[in-house]
A and B are shown apart, each in its own frame.
Chain A
Amino acid sequence: MIGAEAIIKCLESEDVKYVFGYPGVAICPFYNSILESDIKTILVRTEQSAAHAASGLARLTGKPGVCAVTSGPGATNIITGIATAYADSIPMVIITGQVKTDLIGSDVFQEADITGAVESFVKYSYLVKKAEDLPRIFKEAFYIAGSGRKGPVLIDIPIDVQNAQIKSFKYPESVNLRTYKPTVKGNASQIKKVIGKVRTANRPIMCIGGGVQLGDANAEVLKFAEDHNIPMVSTMMGIGTIPTDHPLYFGMVGNNGKPYANKAMNEADVIMMVGARVADRAISQPDLITKDKVLIHIDVDPAEIGKNAVSSIPLVGDCKAIFEDLNKEEFESDTSKWIKALDSYKKDLKIKRNPNKDYVDPESFIQTLTEALEDDAVYIADVGQNQIFSCAYAKIKKGKFLTSGGMGTMGYSIPAALGAKLADPKRQVVCVCGDGSFQMSMCELATFRQHGVLAKIIVFNNTYLGMVREYQHYSYKDNYSMVSLDGSPNLEKLVSAYDFDYLRLENAKGLKKTIEKFLADKNSALLEVMIDPLDLVK
Chain B
Amino acid sequence: MQKKVFQLLATNTSGVLSRISGLFSRRGYNIESITAGVTSNPEYTRITIVTSGDDEVLEQIEKQVAKLVDIKVVKELKPDESVYRELALVKVRCSAEERPSVIAITDIFRGKIVDVATDSLIIEITGDVEKIDKFLELLEGHEILELARTGMAGLSRGIETVTI
B 1-43 contacts with A by CB, 8 A: 10-11, 14-15, 18-19, 22, 26
User: Chain A nearest CB: distance from B74 CB in Å?
Assistant: 11
Given contacts A115-B15, A116-B18, A179-B10, contact A144 B60 (CB under 8 A): no
B 33-78 contacts with A by CB, 8 A: 56, 59-60, 63-64, 66-67, 69-72
Find chain A residues with CB under 8 A from B56 CB.
Answer: 306, 310
Find chain B residues with CB under 8 A from A306 CB.
Answer: 56, 59-60, 63
Instruction: Flag whether A520 is at the interface (Cβ < 8 A).
Output: no
Instruction: Flag whether A302 is at the interface (Cβ < 8 A).
Output: yes
| Other-chain residue from A115, A116, A302, A310 in contact with B67 (beta carbon distance below 8 A) | A302
Find chain B residues with CB under 8 A from A123 CB.
Answer: 69
Find chain B residues with CB under 8 A from A303 CB.
Answer: 60, 63-64, 66-67
Among residues of A, the one whose C-beta sits closest to the C-beta of B70 is: A179
Among residues of A, the one whose C-beta sits closest to the C-beta of B61 is: A303
What 0/1 readout, one digit per residue, does chain A (116-151) give for beta carbons within 8 Å of chain B?
100110011001000000000000000010000000
Among residues of B, the one whose C-beta sits closest to the C-beta of A129 is: B14
User: Is the CB–CB distance between A144 and B69 below 8 Å?
Assistant: yes
Among residues of A, the one whose C-beta sits closest to the C-beta of B43 is: A178
User: Is the CB–CB distance between A307 and B69 below 8 Å?
Assistant: no
User: Chain A nearest CB: distance from B21 CB in Å?
Assistant: 10
What 0/1 readout, one digit per residue, does chain A (470-511) give for beta carbons within 8 Å of chain B?
000000000000000000000000000000000000000000
Instruction: Flag whether B108 is at the interface (Cβ < 8 A).
Output: no
Instruction: Flag whether B164 is at the interface (Cβ < 8 A).
Output: yes
Instruction: Flag whether A109 is at the interface (Cβ < 8 A).
Output: no
User: Chain B nearest CB: distance from A487 CB in Å?
Assistant: 37
Among residues of B, the one whose C-beta sits closest to the C-beta of A303 is: B63
A 91-125 contacts with B by CB, 8 A: 115-116, 119-120, 123-124
Find chain B residues with CB under 8 A from A310 CB.
Answer: 56
User: Chain B nearest CB: distance from A177 CB in Å?
Assistant: 7
User: Is the CB–CB distance between B71 and A307 below 8 Å?
Assistant: no
Find chain A residues with CB under 8 A from B18 CB.
Answer: 116, 119
User: Is the CB–CB distance between B69 and A180 below 8 Å?
Assistant: yes
What 0/1 readout, one digit per residue, does chain A (428-440) give for beta carbons within 8 Å of chain B?
0000000000000
User: Chain A nearest CB: distance from B31 CB in Å?
Assistant: 16
Find chain A residues with CB under 8 A from B66 CB.
Answer: 302-303
Find chain B residues with CB under 8 A from A324 CB.
Answer: none
User: Chain A nearest CB: distance from B149 CB in Å?
Assistant: 27
Find chain B residues with CB under 8 A from A307 CB.
Answer: 60, 63
User: Chain B nearest CB: distance from A155 CB in Å?
Assistant: 13
CA of A116 to CA of B60, assembled, Å: 23
Find chain A residues with CB under 8 A from B70 CB.
Answer: 179
CA of A35 to CA of B126, assembled, Å: 62
User: Is the CB–CB distance between B63 and A302 below 8 Å?
Assistant: yes
Find chain A residues with CB under 8 A from B67 CB.
Answer: 301-303
Find chain A residues with CB under 8 A from B19 CB.
Answer: 119
User: Is the CB–CB distance between A177 and B64 below 8 Å?
Assistant: no
Find chain B residues with CB under 8 A from A120 CB.
Answer: 22, 26
CA of A177 to CA of B68, assembled, Å: 12
A 166-222 contacts with B by CB, 8 A: 177-180
CA of A301 to CA of B68, assembled, Å: 11
Among residues of B, the one whose C-beta sits closest to the C-beta of A153 is: B69
Find chain B residues with CB under 8 A from A144 CB.
Answer: 69
CA of A85 to CA of B14, assembled, Å: 25
| Other-chain residue from A115, A177, A301 in contact with B69 (beta carbon distance below 8 A) | A177
User: Chain B nearest CB: distance from A442 CB in Å?
Assistant: 33
User: Chain B nearest CB: distance from A130 CB in Å?
Assistant: 13
User: Chain B nearest CB: distance from A216 CB in Å?
Assistant: 22
Among residues of A, the one whose C-beta sits closest to the C-beta of B164 is: A178
Q: A120-B26, A303-B60, A307-B63 are in contact. List 19 more A-B contacts (CB 8 A).
A: A116-B18, A119-B18, A120-B22, A123-B69, A124-B69, A127-B14, A144-B69, A178-B72, A179-B70, A179-B72, A301-B67, A302-B66, A302-B67, A303-B66, A303-B67, A306-B56, A306-B59, A307-B60, A310-B56
Q: What 7 A-B pairs come out closest when comparing CB atoms?
A: A303-B63, A179-B72, A124-B69, A180-B69, A120-B26, A119-B22, A303-B67
User: Can you list 23 A-B contacts (CB < 8 A)?
Assistant: A115-B15, A119-B22, A120-B22, A123-B69, A124-B69, A127-B14, A127-B15, A144-B69, A177-B69, A178-B72, A178-B164, A179-B11, A179-B70, A179-B72, A301-B67, A302-B63, A303-B63, A303-B66, A306-B56, A306-B63, A307-B60, A307-B63, A310-B56
